[in-house]
Structure 1
Amino acid sequence: MADPTRRTILSGLVAGVTSIAGCSKLNLFSQPSQQWKTGLPTGHTKIESPLCVTDKAIIFATHSGTLFNVSRETGDIKWDKRVSSTSSNGPAITQRAIYYAEYGVSALSHDGDTLWEKQRDENPGMRVTPLALNDIVVSGEYDGMVVARDVTTGREVWETSLEGPSPITSLIVAGTSIFASNQEGMLASVEPETGTMRWSYSGSYGQTVVGDENHIVLVGKEVTALSADTGEVEWTNTVTEPFGQPTIAEESVFVASRSTRTPDNPHDNEGRLWAFDLETGKRRWERETTPSPTTRPTVVDTQILAGMTDGTVQSFSTDGTHNWTHETKGDAVTALTVQEGAAYVGTDEVAILAFELP
């Protein structure tokens, strides 16, 4: 169970924290105020899953296969539960339950009790966070299958294949479709009710995917935007050594890149942020960052937040101007999640911390 002595309260919560919608009038010369930092108990390895932030909790998984529920207000560990032998997947959260996928799909109550567990025959595992959509929970599996199950019982509703055994590596919902991409770069638009494939597109190996109601953006060897309705290519542009998933916001696509470690550059300390027009693909700006990013960009109103390799989180305006730097000690290993004016991030110290945005 959790060791409460590992938690460090750094400052009290400020009453009346500004909401995300109210962050447009930021004092860009002030500094973030750290609220709390919680180290996980000894024996837990790195945090690789996304942080899911609810009204009261932060829920995430460690590489050692344990799901944690941490109080959003205080950082106290409410409960932890071993769900697999190893994991980099995050949970999907609804008011009904917490859904987790690794070597099967599990539904847990918000108290951590198991509601149901289901596994396909000879299931080789899963590499992506599941999706919880109304009456179904959707998983992307290692053998290239996309599988939907009933959220209440776990009964299989439909399954569809991306034409081959390549593992599903990206699974998102945008507009009226599910979008699944495999390791070989095939992207498919899937109808949520029946699992019927609407269209497919052959991209690049290991690409990451993000989307909104009208556009799907892939980042692999290039940055490519597709029509969400038809899969037709809308534009393509280039990025040097892209890193992580892109972000769509402010009618732009934001991409982080970082230099590859070599004998001449052993510290991976040079990177860039890029902004492209969502409709045309025209590059709006790029800027060097030293050190380089460790996380995908998170956009909150007029701020872009990213973790850096020197143990900091940095803020940039959506025009590329640098705003502020906040020291996190350890390098950020999860994208920042922002809710009601507070940012939450996991670090390579195997810790979660919260700070209030200025």
Structure 2
Amino acid sequence: MIISRRRYLAMTGSTAALSAAGCTSLLDGETDDSGDQNADPDTDEDDETDADSDASSTGLAADDWPSFQRTPGNDGYTPSSAPTDDPAERWSTTLSGALEEQVAVVDGTVYAVTDDGTVHALEAASGDEIWTESLEGGRAQCPCIVDGLVVVSTETGELVALDAADGEREWTADLAGPVAGPTADAGTVYVGTSENPVAYAIDAASGVERWSFPLALDAVDYPAVSGEGVYVAAHSAWDGRLYALEPTDGSERWVHEADRMRSPAAVDDGVLARGYAVTILTPAGDPRQRTGFGTSYPAPPATTSTALFGGGSGGGFTALDRAEGVPDWHASFVGPISATAVTDDRAYLTTGRPELVALDLATGDRRWSRSLEGGIATGPTVADGAVFVGTNDGNLTAFE
């Protein structure tokens, strides 16, 4: 079911719409009623994004997806061309184990890590295997491709870098415990550990530690990085914290506390802290806005300069206007919803059926969907003119 912003607000009023989508604006207690309830998102020029500005700000090639949610900030946006209507299957293959996270795609090569710790390199055009490498203590994850290396974390406390061309091990960093991450930016790899929780900055070329910072809770998932800071999520039981650290030396800037915590996203005007809801924080760490995306536990959202797109365990999926803090549209699926990927005109996600779905970015209308083989699907990767998605049956498929 798709509910447009105009219909949503006309039926319920802006305050009720915020409640229905799990969104509270301006957490200092004020209510934001400044938005135009009759605005039509189909004619909103702010929905457009700029591929050229993305390339200049991130340094990423348009057709590459080198890490979790693509950018160091984990924003899930790509200017890559992707199938917008009625895609065909480019290829499908079965890997050595379950796929639980997005795959990475760089320079026409797909990199995937399965739950048995095997790193797979495949031709993006054909799905043919280039090389595989098994890592002791490896686990299913999205690898990080940086400066010709495939960087992978392990449960044994090793951060491993493999040559992207042939899978040969280039360096190994021995860290304090099981490793969460990695995320890379400007030649540095950022990770955290659990059991003995520490945040690290590791030189991507050599594996040498640049700095470390002790955490009070176990690091989880993938750090987010921007010019304002390195953001590391941590939790233990019901406690959660988001640490903002200085990129240069790892010193603490601020800490945000919430129920549990998962991978954050850095945006141009702050950071998204993802716990049982998503709290949008200013660069100084002050709460500015809060949303549940109409679901019970949010998956990693995607963000553009004007909107946030996200769903979660309950099957709800919402496009949230960043300036006004109100939903542009809301859709319902059979949950849970995966991490979201967005292009200039589409939002891509997987559902609990499982199926891969493409939605119109402006309206939320379903443009196409494809059933997937398996019980649980990964978040989609949009790169090389295709959408890549895996399942816990080890199946990896490319649609174009």
1:213 & 1:21 partners in 2: Cα distance? Answer: 17
* Change beyond 3 A, Cα 1:236–1:132: closer
| Alpha-carbon distance, 1:173 to partner | 1.2
- Give the residue type in structure 2 aligned to 1:105: L
**Contact kept in structure 2, 1:332 and 1:345, CA below 8 Å:** no
Cross-structure match for 1:152: 205
| Alpha-carbon distance, 1:22 to partner | 7.7
**Contact kept in structure 2, 1:97 and 1:109, CA below 8 Å:** yes
Q: Which residue of 150, 163, 167 maps to 1:109? A: 163
Cross-structure match for 2:126: 74
Kindly provide the CA deviation profile for residues 271-305 of structure 1, in whole angstroms up to 9, marking residues without a partner as x. 2111212233222222212x324412211212111
Cross-structure match for 1:330: 374
- Residue 319 (structure 2) pairs with residue 275 (structure 1): yes
Q: Which residue of 195, 218, 222 maps to 2:273? A: 218
- Give the residue type in structure 1 aligned to 2:246: E
| Alpha-carbon distance, 1:180 to partner | 0.6
- Give the residue type in structure 2 aligned to 1:81: E
* Change beyond 3 A, Cα 1:152–1:50: same
2:97 & 2:89 partners in 1: Cα distance? Answer: 24
2:383 & 2:290 partners in 1: Cα distance? Answer: 32
- Give the residue type in structure 2 aligned to 1:284: D
| Alpha-carbon distance, 1:50 to partner | 2.4
Give me the TM-score of the superposition, normalised by structure 2: 0.73
2:374 & 2:203 partners in 1: Cα distance? Answer: 40
- Residue 254 (structure 2) pairs with residue 202 (structure 1): no
* Change beyond 3 A, Cα 1:279–1:185: farther
* Change beyond 3 A, Cα 1:351–1:95: same
- Residue 232 (structure 2) pairs with residue 180 (structure 1): yes
- Residue 338 (structure 2) pairs with residue 302 (structure 1): no
Cross-structure match for 2:178: 125
2:286 & 2:346 partners in 1: Cα distance? Answer: 31
- Residue 338 (structure 2) pairs with residue 285 (structure 1): no
1:242 & 1:273 partners in 2: Cα distance? Answer: 11
- Give the residue type in structure 1 aligned to 2:345: T
- Give the residue type in structure 1 aligned to 2:151: Y
More helix by share: 2
Kindly provide the CA deviation profile for residues 154-212 of structure 1, in whole angstroms up to 9, marking residues without a partner as x. 222210123x1433344111344211110132112212221122222112213442122
When the two structures are aligned, how many residues end up with a matched partner?
316
- Give the residue type in structure 2 aligned to 1:108: L
- Residue 166 (structure 2) pairs with residue 166 (structure 1): no
* Change beyond 3 A, Cα 1:134–1:81: same
* Change beyond 3 A, Cα 1:180–1:22: closer
**Contact kept in structure 1, 2:80 and 2:382, CA below 8 Å:** no
Cross-structure match for 2:244: 189
| Alpha-carbon distance, 1:114 to partner | 0.7
SS in 2 for 1:309: coil
1:49 & 1:153 partners in 2: Cα distance? Answer: 26
- Give the residue type in structure 1 aligned to 2:87: P
| Alpha-carbon distance, 1:21 to partner | 4.7
Cross-structure match for 2:295: 240
SS in 2 for 1:242: coil
- Residue 99 (structure 2) pairs with residue 55 (structure 1): no
- Residue 364 (structure 2) pairs with residue 320 (structure 1): yes
Q: Which runs of 4+ in 1 moved over 6 A?
A: none
**Contact kept in structure 2, 1:293 and 1:306, CA below 8 Å:** no
* Change beyond 3 A, Cα 1:252–1:331: farther
1:66 & 1:95 partners in 2: Cα distance? Answer: 21
Cross-structure match for 2:46: none
| Alpha-carbon distance, 1:145 to partner | 0.7
Query: Where does structure 1 lack aligned partners over 5 or more consecutive residues?
Result: 1-17, 260-270
SS in 2 for 1:106: strand
Cross-structure match for 1:12: none
**Contact kept in structure 2, 1:208 and 1:246, CA below 8 Å:** no
Identity %: 22
Cross-structure match for 2:27: none
Give me the TM-score of the superposition, normalised by structure 1: 0.81
Cross-structure match for 2:117: 65
| Alpha-carbon distance, 1:93 to partner | 0.6
- Give the residue type in structure 2 aligned to 1:353: T
More strand by share: 1
- Give the residue type in structure 2 aligned to 1:158: W
